[in-house]
């Protein structure tokens, strides 16, 4: 392999090209900065945005009068008192403007009588969620942003570029070191501002809705550079991920839009409405928030009232073929090709890891504690507190992406020269160019073990004993992974890529398990069976850092501000 790194200078480096990264690129370029948009996958095709099939929440008021403050109130309620109210407010205040901007860019939001249609989703007090028919929201968001990027000058795109570490001068972030996966080449990038738009960490779990690029890289990059993370214990489990029968070529969370439009019946093996025992009577409508539905399904399975594969039944049999076809025309045919006839059968669904509420601490400009480092999208923690409302994640990606782009451009314009020092890039370059390790770790097997540990011990329902077991296992796996990568570092050396992935996943997993163990209460997506109640003394946000003393835990004060509203 080539040991001389290729070097690139840019004003703004954006790591990750989902909705947040692409919106940031457009905003930074429009503000006059030179942008490098890097992604470990193809530009605009990796991560969650392109996979999202459902809805985007914004107080447009196009169907029913609405105001951002109503959306904000709903967001705070869902967040169970832990939202960073500055970020939640921005998300709700600026969401509608991003939706309109996307509309002007030709995304094709679904319309009724010429107005943008808005669906009612759980936790929202009125119809607020826009979408693109049929199950095309995320692909349309990605395609539209890719199109605008192509028409906007000043954005250099770099796919297949896995960022392995940030480079710092003291606490200032001055760029990054990357592996060009397709060639095996090492790359150094000097940047006046760097935006982490790397998405979430749901790949840590056995059952997930994630792509292979969502192993929490951004959280690990931030931690190693010295930036703190908040709310890492709050992993959102999507309650009705597809479980059975086998479904090929379709999104495992596709049942949510069915529920928005048609309601559907969620039942246990005895045919009882599943959530009724847990305080929500749906009567064929879609009213249950995600944390309550997840809890209900897990508990019904434990009580022996689950479906054959260990989940719940979801049925649209009562809706009839005409209603199903009107709502989901081509999707019904795709289901038929999977031998699923919704007029005659229920499907089985179960909770899957879906979204991460926690992440990098950023202010209203999306600036982190480290000069030169910004964050955007799902990588940012705090806006959604302990539980996210449906549709808030894409809004967050668009709003925070746009803000981060503007702020990064401003910083870049005010910074005369790059302060990147190649010597600071040396440790990461040494890893990239290390010779093959004989008898190195079996990374594929370790990946499967880690996902099992996280699912079984740090999943929807937790206990102190399970979390301690997880932390022990993670520590043991971290030792087994070793300090030097496996593989020979050539072109498409996926073993080496997997080693870098595990290095990040283990760090992110440790952060999640550690703060989950510390939070001795149940709140939102964090449910402790040994501490089943919400406890007012825990109305605070936990912060995790990596430093000379290893990983340490502290507290932030957002919750107090949110609670005071």
Does 457 engage in binding with ligand FAD (CB under 6 A)?
no
* Closest CB 522 distance from ligand FAD, rounded Å: 24
Does 391 engage in binding with ligand FAD (CB under 6 A)?
yes
Does 357 engage in binding with ligand FAD (CB under 6 A)?
no
| Candidate residues 10, 89, 213, 288; the one interacting with ligand FAD per rule CB under 6 A | 213
Which of 78, 75, 81 is closest to 536 using CA atoms? 81
Residue carrying structure tokens 């709140």: 523
Tokens (6 digits) for 355: 């979204």
* Closest CB 549 distance from ligand FAD, rounded Å: 26
Does 132 engage in binding with ligand FAD (CB under 6 A)?
no
Give the catalytic positions in this structure. Answer: 290
Our CB check for ligand FAD shows the closer of 137 and 194 to be 137
Binding string, residues 27-66; x marks residues near ligand FAD by CB under 6 A: -----------xxxx----xxxx-xxxxxx----------
Sign of the C-alpha dihedral computed for residues 398, 180, 223 and 437 taken in this order:
positive
Does 355 engage in binding with ligand FAD (CB under 6 A)?
yes
Our CB check for ligand FAD shows the closer of 471 and 505 to be 505
Does 137 engage in binding with ligand FAD (CB under 6 A)?
yes
Please give the span between the terminal C-alpha atoms of the chain, in angstroms, as a whole number: 57
* Chain residues 308-337 in contact with ligand FAD, contact rule CB under 6 A: none
Our CB check for ligand FAD shows the closer of 34 and 47 to be 47
Binding-site size for ligand FAD (CB under 6 A) equals: 44
Which of 458, 409, 539 is closest to 28 using CA atoms? 409
Our CB check for ligand FAD shows the closer of 306 and 460 to be 460
User: Of 18-26, 112-120, 471-479, 487-495, which part binds ligand FAD (CB under 6 A)?
Assistant: 18-26
The string of DSSP letters for 251-312 reads -TTTHHHHHHHH--EEE-TTS-BTTGGGT---TTS----HHHHHHHHHHHHHTT-S-TTSSE
Our CB check for ligand FAD shows the closer of 16 and 311 to be 16
Binding string, residues 184-203; x marks residues near ligand FAD by CB under 6 A: -------------xxx----
Beta-bridged to residue 57, according to DSSP, are 129
User: Of 95-103, 211-219, 284-292, 512-520, which part binds ligand FAD (CB under 6 A)?
Assistant: 211-219
Our CB check for ligand FAD shows the closer of 39 and 493 to be 39
Measured N-to-C along each axis, helices 464-481 and 443-457 cross at an angle, to the nearest 10 degrees, of: 170
* Closest CB 396 distance from ligand FAD, rounded Å: 7
Which of 316, 328, 290 is closest to 136 using CA atoms? 328
* Closest CB 206 distance from ligand FAD, rounded Å: 15
Does 253 engage in binding with ligand FAD (CB under 6 A)?
yes
**In a 10 Å sphere around its CB, with 0-12 CB exposed, 13-18 middle and 19+ buried, how is residue 143 labelled?**
middle
Our CB check for ligand FAD shows the closer of 5 and 391 to be 391
| Candidate residues 90, 162, 471, 474; the one interacting with ligand FAD per rule CB under 6 A | 162
Which of 481, 452, 480, 486 is closest to 466 using CA atoms? 452
**d(C-alpha 320, C-alpha 327), whole Å:** 11
* Closest CB 404 distance from ligand FAD, rounded Å: 10
Side by side, the strands of the sheet bearing 235-244 are: 235-244, 347-356, 312-315, 265-267
In this structure, how many other beta carbons lie within 10 angstroms of the beta carbon of residue 356? 29
* Closest CB 460 distance from ligand FAD, rounded Å: 17
Does 229 engage in binding with ligand FAD (CB under 6 A)?
no
Binding string, residues 506-545; x marks residues near ligand FAD by CB under 6 A: ----------------------------------------
Distances (CA, A) of 287 to 130, 164, 239, 271, 544: 18, 42, 13, 18, 34
Whether the CB-CB separation of 478 and 421 falls below 8 Å is answered with no
Question: How much of the chain is in helix, strand and coil states, percent to nearest 5?
Answer: 40, 20, 40
Which of 36, 352, 34, 386 is closest to 197 using CA atoms? 36
Does 378 engage in binding with ligand FAD (CB under 6 A)?
yes
In the three-class reduction of DSSP (H, G, I as helix; E, B as strand; rest coil), residue 481 is classed as helix
User: Of 242-250, 289-297, 357-365, 376-384, which part binds ligand FAD (CB under 6 A)?
Assistant: 376-384
Does 306 engage in binding with ligand FAD (CB under 6 A)?
no
Q: State the residues that interact with ligand FAD by CB under 6 A.
A: 15-21, 38-41, 46-49, 51-56, 137-138, 162-163, 197-199, 209-210, 213-214, 217, 251, 253, 355, 377-379, 391-394, 397
């Amino acid at each position: 392999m080539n040991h001389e790194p290729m070097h690139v200078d840019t004003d703004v480096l954006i790591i990750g090209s989902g909705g947040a990264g692409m919106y940031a690129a457009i905003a930074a370029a429009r503000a006059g900065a030179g942008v490098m948009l890097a992604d470990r996958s193809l530009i605009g095709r990796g991560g969650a945005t392109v996979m999202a099939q459902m809805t985007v929440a914004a107080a447009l008021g196009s169907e029913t009068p609405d105001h951002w403050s109503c959306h904000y109130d709903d967001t705070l309620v869902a967040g169970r008192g832990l939202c960073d109210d500055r970020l939640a407010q921005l998300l709700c205040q600026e969401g509608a403007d991003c939706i309109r901007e996307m509309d002007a860019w030709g995304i094709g939001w679904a319309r009724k009588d010429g107005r943008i249609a808005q669906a009612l989703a759980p936790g929202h007090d009125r119809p607020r969620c826009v979408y693109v028919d049929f199950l095309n929201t995320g692909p349309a968001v990605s395609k539209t942003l890719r199109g605008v990027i192509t028409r906007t000058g000043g954005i250099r795109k770099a796919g297949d570029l896995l960022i392995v570490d940030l480079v710092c001068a003291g606490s200032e972030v001055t760029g990054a070191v990357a592996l060009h996966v397709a060639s095996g080449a090492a790359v150094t990038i000097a940047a006046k501002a760097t935006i982490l738009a790397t998405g979430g960490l749901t790949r840590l779990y056995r059952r997930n809705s994630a792509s292979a690029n969502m192993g929490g890289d951004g959280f690990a990059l931030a931690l190693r550079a010295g930036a703190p993370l908040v709310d890492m214990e709050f992993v959102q489990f999507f309650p009705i991920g597809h479980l059975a029968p086998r479904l090929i070529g379709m999104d495992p969370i596709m049942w949510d839009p069915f529920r928005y439009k048609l309601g559907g019946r969620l039942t246990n093996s005895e045919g009882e409405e599943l959530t009724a025992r847990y305080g929500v009577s749906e009567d064929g409508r879609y009213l249950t928030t995600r944390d309550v539905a997840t809890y209900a399904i897990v508990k019904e399975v434990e009580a022996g009232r689950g479906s054959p594969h260990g989940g719940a039944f979801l049925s649209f049999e009562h809706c009839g073929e005409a209603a199903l076809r009107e709502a989901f025309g081509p999707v019904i045919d795709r289901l038929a090709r999977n031998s699923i006839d919704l007029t005659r059968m229920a499907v089985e669904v179960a909770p899957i890891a879906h979204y991460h509420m926690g992440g990098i601490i950023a202010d209203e400009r999306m600036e982190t504690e480290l000069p030169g480092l910004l964050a955007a999208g799902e990588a940012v923690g705090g806006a959604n507190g302990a539980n996210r409302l449906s549709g808030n994640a894409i809004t967050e990606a668009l709003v925070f992406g746009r803000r981060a782009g503007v702020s990064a451009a401003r910083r870049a314009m005010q910074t005369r020269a790059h302060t990147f020092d190649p010597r600071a890039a040396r440790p990461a370059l040494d890893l990239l160019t290390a010779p093959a390790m004989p008898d190195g770790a079996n990374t594929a097997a370790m990946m499967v073990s880690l996902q099992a540990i996280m699912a079984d011990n740090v999943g929807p329902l937790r206990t102190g004993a399970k979390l301690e077991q997880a932390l022990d296992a993670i520590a043991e796996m971290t030792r087994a992974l070793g300090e030097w990568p496996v593989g020979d570092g050539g072109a498409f050396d996926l073993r080496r890529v997997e080693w870098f992935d595990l290095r990040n996943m283990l760090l992110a997993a440790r952060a999640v398990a550690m703060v989950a163990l510390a939070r001795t209460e149940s709140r939102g997506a964090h449910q402790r069976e040994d501490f089943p109640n919400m406890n007012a003394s825990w109305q605070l946000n936990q912060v995790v850092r990596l430093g000379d003393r290893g990983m340490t835990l502290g507290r932030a004060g957002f919750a107090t501000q949110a609670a005071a509203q």
